[in-house]
Amino acid sequence: MVEYFSTIRWDGAVDLSWYNGTDTEFTITTARQLAGVAELVNSNAADFAGKTIRLGADISLLRYVEPGKPW
């Protein structure tokens, strides 16, 4: 098993390029892709029932502070 740790600092951007409605398995490796999952779920733009999302890397959001949010 190959371990991967993303050292790219997340800038708050969202990546949806990994998603299509026909695949049933997805591997997320960046904070931008993880934000994309959140956007798709929170906007009801995608139904992930019966689908698998895997984390392919350790993703840290610790360095990002959204403007106006204390967390």
Q: Under a CB-based contact definition with an 8 Å cutoff, are residues 35 and 15 in contact?
A: yes
Q: Token pair for residue 6?
A: 């993303």
pLDDT on residue 65: 61
Higher pLDDT, 36 or 71: 36
Q: Domain span at residue 54? A: 1-63
Instruction: Assess whether pLDDT exceeds 70 at residue 11.
Output: yes
**pLDDT tens per residue, range 13-41:** 899 999 999 999 999 999 899 999 999 99
- Output the pTM of the full model: 0.75
Number of domains in the chain: 1
| Three-state SS at 42 | helix
Whether residue 34 is contained in a domain is answered as yes
Q: Under a CB-based contact definition with an 8 Å cutoff, are residues 38 and 15 in contact?
A: no
CB neighbours of 6 closer than 8 A, spacing ≥ 6? 29, 30, 31, 57, 58, 59, 60
Whether residue 44 is contained in a domain is answered as yes
pLDDT on residue 5: 55
